Every structure is written in structure tokens, then in C-alpha cells.
Structure 1
Amino acid sequence: MTPIHVVGIGLDGLAGLGTKVQAIIETATLLVGSDRHLQLIPQGETPRLSLGDLNATLKAIQAHLATTPDPQVVILTSGDPLFYGLGRWLLEVFTPEQLTFHPHLSAVQLAFSRLKLPWQDAVIYSAHGRDLAGLVPLLQRGVEKIAIYTDGEANIAAISRLYQALRLPVSYCAWVCQALGSQDEVILPWDLAQPVMEPPPLHPLNLVVLLRQPQRLPLREQPVLGLGDDQFFAFGDRPSLMTKREVRVLALAELALTSSIETVWDVGAGTGSVAVEMARLAPQATIYAIEKTAIGFQLIERNRKAFGLTNLIPIQGAAPQRLSGLPQPDRVFIGGSGAQLLANLDYCWSHLKAGGRVVLAIATLEHQGQVLQWCQTHQISPQVLHVQLSRSVPLGQGHRLHPLNPVTLITLSQG
């Protein structure tokens, strides 16, 4: 028999444990746990050790093992000790042969059971004793289900402030699941978009669950230039895959739209965010948004309708073939082309009106090098603007800068 048993226990105490585990606790020679866990076990003759300083606790357990005949140490933990629990530390200081684990239902299991949601596809993030920085990429990817272990600082209010600061084109239902498995259990629905300074009184043991919702664009007055990223319908599995607001504004400045232009091509239009901005800024012009994917084409059409733009024409198909037959452009924006980048650049440049402009948004060093080599071959002097921006996001009681992906804008002008 292994000398150390690590027992996961819920807020219902002994009543929630099986008879085998109860027998192990009854025959223990030393009972170890936090004050909260020890209070769940009726007082008896078994010596108790409060789990405070881990190094002091380790020395006390080692001394007990060395001096007690047939020792049986029981260490009480929350839920599953090998799931964001004490088990990881115990495996660092004891050998696997010394340990036996008896997991209980975790807070995540209980939370999804109460919400009646399958959770095999959920992502679990622990902000307990950590900050919320690791939650940022999960929200940016639009992960469908997220369970977040919280603490006093990384609480629902902090999660709400982070979500609002990111300005993402994705919305979530949220629940604060408190004191799960006890008589004090409460499931509190929460609106992440609501202004909040401090959360309402909550049980200190709580878990936050987020469930992504079908996208609905927020209703608010629109600026003339620089629409928020959350104002566009976006890819459900990649909501951040669009030309970001700050880069979009710079690209529009490089395009130098005027009241005299008639035709603009947006090649590799994605969600159509740049095309929408151009159509709003140049209502006299016709904007052709060319996108090869069916889902991208549908998103452009949804965004066109959302803004009521009759001068924006989505076109599904691969460039440069799909560009054939379109009116000669005054301006071209190339935001996505993949392997067809140089072929698209060749076609757009050769069909550009005199005095026109081509602006490319380049994400990789390889494509940047290809375009600059193309410019050298064609004896064209490009204007290169490297864009590396960061947005502020909450971090504890302060803020930090979270970088956006760097982009290089290359502008080519005729005449």
C-alpha cells in the first residue's frame, strides 16, 4: 500500500466520497489539508496538519513517514488533484510509487453539468494565482467554450474589462458558477459587455464559464472613418482574422481616395472590412471585393447589407482570373493573395489607370521580399510603411500593451 493518499473532496465533504475513500480517511495516521478542507472531516483522534507553507508541510510529512510504523498520510485537495491541483507539486517532491490519487468531480465538470453543456471541446484556463494574459489568445481565436478558474483579482469584473478592451467581433454568454456542490451553490448569469467596476458579492470559490454566441453587431453610431473591428461580421472560428482597425485606417490613407475615383478593386477581401470603409468614404465609386472562399464572400455580403452599401459589389472567385472583365481600377488594395501574390500584382499593375495606386498589406517576410524584388525588376520605387501597433488591455490593477500582428504596407503609384 502506498503511504500517501491524495484525496479530492468537494464542498459536500465526506458524504460526497465513496466508501473506499472514506475508509482510507478513517484509517489515516496523518490528515493534511487546508483549514477549509480539514473542516469538512469530523474531528477525531487522527493528527491533523494544516497545509500552509509547502516547504514546512513537506518536512512534516517526511518526518511522519520516517517515524511512524505503517504510515498512511491522507492529503485533502479540491476536486481532481491532478487538474490544476496539488498533485503536480506532490509529484515533484515524492515518487509516483509513494502516491495514490483519488479524484473527485472537478469544478469544471460540475459547472458544465449544471449548465447542461457538453464540455469535451471546452478550453480550461486557470487565472488562480496568475493574470489573465493567457485568456487573450483564447478570446481572439473565438474559442467556443471556455472555463476560467478565478481568484480575488482575476474575477468576473476583470474578465469583463479585458473582454471589453479587446473589442472583439465575437460575443459570449457568461456564468459565474459559485460554491459548486454545496448548499450555497449559485449560478449567476453575467453580461460581459456591461460596465463594471467591482463584481457583486460572490462566493470566493467560483468558476466562470463562457459560451460563444452567434454574432450580432452592436448598435451604435458609426464614425466616418475607422470602424471598430466588432462592427463587422467575421469568421466564426477566427474572429480576429481581418485587417485591424488601426491598420485599416493607415491603408485607407495610403490609398488616398478622392472624389474623382470611379473604380476600386479589393483583392483577397476576406470579411470585406477594407472594402466597406472604402465604399463609405467614396460613395461615388464602385468597390469590387474579390474573395475566393465561399464563407468570405457571404461575410462580405452580410457586411455590405449591414451598412446599406449599394456601391460595394462582392465577387467570389480566385484572382487574377476573376478580375478579367472588371472596369479598369483607379485604386487597388491587395490584402490577401497567398501563392498568387505576384500574379495578382502583375495583373493589377498592368490594368491600373494612369495616376492610380496599388496598396499591398503584407504579413510575411517572404511576401515582402517578393514584392520588393518585383518593384526592383519593374524599376518602381515603392513607399514602404512597417506597422507594429499595440493595444492596451487590463492586467490586474493596471494595464499592459498587447501587440497586434505586424503588417507592412507597400504603396505603388503610377505617374
Structure 2
Amino acid sequence: MTKIHVVGIGLDGAAGLTEKVRQLVEKATLLVGSDRHLSYFPNHPAQRLVLKDFTEAIQEIRRLLTNGSEGIVVLVSGDPLFFGLGRLLSSEFSPEKLTFHPHLSSVQLAFNRIQVPWQDARVISAHGRSVDELVQALQQGVEKIAVLTDGKNTPSAIARLVESLNLPSQYRCWVCENLGGNDERIIETGNFASLQNQDFAHLNIVIFIRQEHYQELDLEKLPHFGIPDDCFLCFSDRPGLMTKREVRTLVLSELALRPGQVIWDIGAGTGSVSIEIARLFPTSKVYAIEKTAAGSSLITRNCERFQVKNVISIHGKAPEVLESLEGKCDRIFIGGSGGNLTAILDTCTSRLNPKGVIVLALATLEHLNTALLWFKSHSWEYQLLQVQLSRSVPIGQLTRFAPLNPVTIVNAKCPS
């Protein structure tokens, strides 16, 4: 027999309950809830237990059940089993003693207010928790994200975090306050700096929706070297898939570039390395080789975006497509091999000019081992650079480091 009814309630109080649930509350002998939840029933005759210390509340409920009490009603916000008290209650009491009566959750209300379908949304709780999951979701470019906040991870703090991440994707943001209440407010913006000094109601939820359009670049304001990641158009389904700025600058340094060279960028992805080279050395010719049609199209669009004329986008799979390139080259960067690293290196060695350089950026031990075995067997000189970088991110009023994926850069020189 059910002895504990867990009732979800919104900011509209008792008026938002169904008649059946309202009758359950009226018959309660014990009302458990926060001060706000209990205030919705100011004239209720039942005993009251204010939720402050959950452990003490559980002990008191258990004591009353032992004494034969029934009609215990626990009032909670929204859906009790959605990041709510229901999880704790389910772990403390057997299923036959509990019945849940959910209200609309804040996430349901928020997405319906902004009129966006949310069945595919990622819901992340930053309420009393780390923001690591949020950072990961933003860096991955998850299309729809709902964030449950708290007094530390406020909308302002989250806005500072987003500004610091230098994301490859652009997001629009909604801060939804006091949903379902008379003082409900929705703030929409794509300018996260505008949120950083604002105060928000304690009850709020933050929604992020990834945008498919990109702002026009002001090329005169771009750094000549080390273009920010968020300036490049990226893959819509894999927005973080690119050679990051810090690694890109190291790769360019290892290539030891000079004007007037011919450079191959194999596995060019978004074309970020090719475009950096092309802007630095307008008299050089850069071949950006990419096996996917989407990638080749993206490289072309990025070249137009940055107004570079000396990058040639080549759609094809290495090493086969390399045979179609005329002449020899001076520098080769391999950012992706599609599992054909040995065959690619076999082709590259016959097409590289004397004193040429090959630089690889490798993320796995297996590919690194393959490359080193090839260079040793062909008597090439090489050096390794282990790159383990972290970027600072604000966490509330503090700062911590968020690591980038480790990369090994191999710099190899053709034997004389």
C-alpha cells in the first residue's frame, strides 16, 4: 500500500495540480517540502517538515512509517525523477511505499517557451556538480543543450565559461527564469558577454541551440598567425574536428616553411593548416587533399571565407590521389591518413624534393608506431614533440585548466 506520495509542483502552486493530486495533498497527514513548496498550502492542517537536511528528513519519514503513519506527501519541483528528490527516495524506500505524481519539468517548459523540439536535447545538471560535462558538450558541438544551474554555476558564470572556450561552433542562448510563475522571464542572446554582469532569478534554466550560420570575418582584425578556431567553418556533425590553433602553430613551426614552396596537406579536414600557410606565404602553392566530399567543399568555402587564392582543394583518397599531382613538393603535412599511413609515406618519399620535410600530427600510439617503423626502415632522421596542452576556463569565480587531446608531432627529414 502506498504511504508516500511524491508530488511535483510548479510555480503556479496548488492551482497547477490536477483535482486528483490536489485531493491527495488535502488528505495528507504530513507535508514535506521546502519553505516555498509549503507556502502554497498556508492553511493546511497537516504536520509540516521543512526540507533542509535530506538525511534528517528521511529519518523522520522512516520513523513515522514505522509508527504506522500514512498520507505522507513530499512536495518537489517539477518531475521528482528528473534530477530531483525522487532518486534519493527510491533508494531509501521500497517501490510499494512510493507513488510519484510528476508536474511539468523546467526543461519541458523551457523548450516549449522557445518553441524548439527537445527530444534530441542533451540535458546537463550543473546544480551542485562540475561543469565538465557541459564543457565537453559545447566542444563537441551538441546541437541542443539544457543546463540546470545553481548559485555558483549561474547563467553569468556559464556565459563567462562559453566565452573562454573559443568554441568551433556558434551558439544562441536562452535564460529562462521562474518558468510557470507570474514573473516568468525569457532572455535570448547570441552575445555571451552581455550576460556576464547580469543578475538572474534563483530559479532558472539555460538553453543552448547551435547555429548553422557564421558571422562574416573582418580579415583586417585577424592575427597574421594563429587564427582562432571559431573563425573556420566546421563539419556540422563534428564541429571540433580540426587541428587546434595551438597545435597548428607548432606544426607550422616544425614545417620550417619558406616562400615559393609547394606544400601538400594530406587529410586537410577543414583546411585550417592549409589556410594558415597560404596567408603566411602567398607565393607558395598549397594542395589540400581531403578524402570526403563534405571536407573538400568545406575547404573551398573556408578559402573563400579567408580570401586565399593559393590553396588547391583536392578531393580524393591518399595515396591514390597523390599520383594525380604534378611535380614534386617541398613540404608535406599529414594530419589524417585514413588507415593508409604506410602507403602514403611510400608515395611521399618519391615525390619530396631533396632536403624536404614531412610533419605528422598523430593522436594514437598505433599510428605513431607505424610512422616510426617506416622512418627507421628507410633511414630517415626524425624528432618527436609530445604536445599536451590545456586551456584555462573559468569555473564560477575560480579558474581551472581543461586539457586538449594529446598529440605527437613527428618531424622527419629525407635522407641526403
Are 2:159 and 2:196, in contact at CA under 8 Å, matched by a contact in 1?
Answer: no
Residues of 1 paired with 2:44 and 2:284: CA distance?
A: 84
Q: What is the alpha-carbon root mean square deviation over aligned residues? A: 1.3
CA deviation digits over 1:290-347, x for unaligned, max 9? 1010111111001101111111110111111111131310111110012111111111
Give ranges in structure 2 of 5+ residues lacking alignment: none
Secondary structure of 2:124's counterpart equals: strand
Partner secondary structure for residue 111 of structure 1: helix
User: Counterpart in 2 of 1:103?
Assistant: 102
Residues 178-197 of structure 1 aligned to structure 2 (within 5 Å): 178-194=177-193, 197=196
Whichever residue aligns with residue 413 of structure 1, its letter is K
Within the candidate set 194, 199, 202, 2:200 is matched to 202
CA contact under 8 A between 1:270 and 1:291: conserved in structure 2? Answer: yes
Distance 1:111 1:215 in 2: 23
What is the match of residue 407 of structure 2? Answer: 407
Deviations 1:245-293 (A, max 9, x none): 010000000100012x431110110000000011111111110001010
Give 1:219 shift. 3.5
* 3-state SS of paired residue (2:108): helix
CA-CA distance at 1:61 after TM superposition:
1.1
For residue 56 of structure 1, what is the aligned residue in structure 2? 56
Amino acid at match of 1:143: V
In structure 2, what residue type is equivalent to 1:395?
Answer: I
For 1:187, the aligned partner's letter is: I
CA distance in 2, matches of 1:63, 1:194: 51
Query: Structure 1's 83 and 308: CA in aligned 2 closer, same or farther, altered over 3 A?
Result: same
* 1:127 and 1:148 in contact (8 A); partners too: yes
1:211 partner amino acid = I
User: Are 1:175 and 2:177 matched, yes or no?
Assistant: no
Between the aligned partners of 2:187 and 2:406, the Cα distance in structure 1 is 39
Q: Which residue of 2 aligns with 1:374?
A: 374
TM-superposed deviation, 1:223: 1.2
* Residue 289 in structure 1 maps to residue 302 in structure 2: no
1:195 offset after TM fit, Å?
5.4
CA separation of 1:103/1:386 partners in 2, compared to 1, >3 Å: closer, same or farther?
same
SS at match of 1:277: helix
One-letter identity of the residue aligned with 1:376: K
Following the alignment from structure 1 to structure 2, what is the Cα–Cα distance between the partners of residues 176 and 72?
38
Match of 1:341 in 2: 341
| Aligned residues of 2:146 and 2:205 also touching (Cα < 8 A) | yes
Classify the secondary structure of the residue corresponding to 1:246.
Answer: helix
- State the distance in 2 between where 1:3 and 1:263 align: 78
Secondary structure at 2:324 match in 1: coil
Q: Secondary structure at the match of 2:339?
A: helix
**Corresponding residue number in structure 1 for 2:316:** 317
The CA deviation at 1:35 is 0.4
- Offset, 1:202: 2.0
One-letter amino acid of the structure 1 residue matched with residue 348 of structure 2:
C
Bigger drift between 74-83 and 333-342 goes to 333-342
1: CA distance between counterparts of 2:316 and 2:306?
A: 23
323-332 or 291-300, which deviates more: 323-332
Aligned residues: 412
Q: Which SS does the other structure have where 2:253 is aligned?
A: helix
Asked whether 1:213 is paired with 2:211, we answer: yes
Deviations 1:124-183 (A, max 9, x none): 011111232220110011111111111122111111111111101211111111111111
Shift of residue 192, structure 1, vs aligned partner: 4.1
CA distance in 1, matches of 2:321, 2:13: 67
Aligned to 2:13: 13
**Is this contact kept in 2: 1:133–1:395, CA < 8 A?**
no
Contact persistence 1:173–1:190 (CA under 8 A): yes
Q: Greater shift after overlay, 73-82 or 11-20?
A: 11-20
Query: In structure 1, how many angstroms separate the alpha carbons of the residues matched to 2:174 and 2:83?
Result: 20
1:365 aligned residue: 365
Amino acid at match of 1:125: I
Hey, what does 2:163 align to over in structure 1? 164
Structure 1 counterpart of 2:177, which letter?
Q
- Give, in whole Å, the separation in 2 of the partners of 1:286 and 1:99: 71
For 1:176 and 1:82, locate their aligned partners in 2 and report how far apart those are by CA, in whole Å. Answer: 23
CA distance in 2, matches of 1:90, 1:350: 69
Structure 1: which 4+ aligned runs deviate by more than 6 Å?
none
Deviates most, 279-288 or 187-196: 187-196
Structure 2 counterparts to residues 225-374 of structure 1, below 5 A: 225-259=225-259, 261-326=260-325, 327-374=327-374
Looking at structure 2, the residues matched to 348 and 136 of structure 1 have their Cα atoms a distance apart, in angstroms, of 39
Q: Is the 8 A contact 2:139 2:240 kept in 1?
A: yes
1:20 Cα deviation after fit: 1.1
> Distance in 2 between the 1:398 and 1:269 partners?
37
Aligned to 1:2: 2
**Which letter does structure 2 place at the counterpart of 1:223?**
P
The equivalent residue for 1:32 is 32
CA contact (8 A) 1:77 1:86 kept: yes
Aligned residues: percent identity? 52
Against the structure 1 CA distance between its residues 218 and 204, is the aligned structure 2 distance closer, same or farther, given a 3 Å change threshold? farther
Unaligned runs of 5+ in 1: none
